[in-house]
Amino acid sequence: MDLLQKLLQIDKNDVRNKKRGTYKSGNMQELVGDPVIEIQEIDAERLTELQTLPLNENGTYDYTLSFAANSMTVAEGVVNPDLTNKELQDHFGAQNAAELAKILFKTEIADIAVKIAELSSPEVITDEDVKN
């Protein structure tokens, strides 16, 4: 069966569903006793937009903006806890979801953002990977 036929056999809704996963957060474990947060992939176009935020006009990476870009990625990719929940934001004195992400996850922001990006960009598994 060729690739076209295989694609025509898949449920188109499965392609549109966002992939979900979990991340074990040390900060969350300290706060509530349970380290598991739920994350989901971000739309490819939006993820690219977020990942290029730290680039200046010359195309040089501005490291001072990377934390803000990662915080926005986490704000959009974490689904449990719901960082967009206004009651939760108000409780912690955060102005928005990205600020709440900074408060709750601190230095884990970059690691969580990477995991969200990995969900959004799955790697190909080779036969060699399966054997190992």
Helix axes 66-77, 44-51, angle to 10 degrees: 160
Closest CA to 101 of 56, 61, 63, 69: 69
Q: How far apart are CA 105 and CA 71, in angstroms?
A: 9
pLDDT tens across the length of the chain (132 residues): 788 888 888 877 777 778 899 999 999 999 999 999 999 999 888 988 998 889 888 888 888 889 999 999 999 999 999 999 999 999 999 999 999 999 999 999 999 999 999 987 766 666 565 555
Does the predicted model carry a pTM greater than 0.95? no
Instruction: Please give the full DSSP string across 47-69, using - where no structure is assigned.
Output: HHHHHTTTB-TTS-B-GGGHHHH
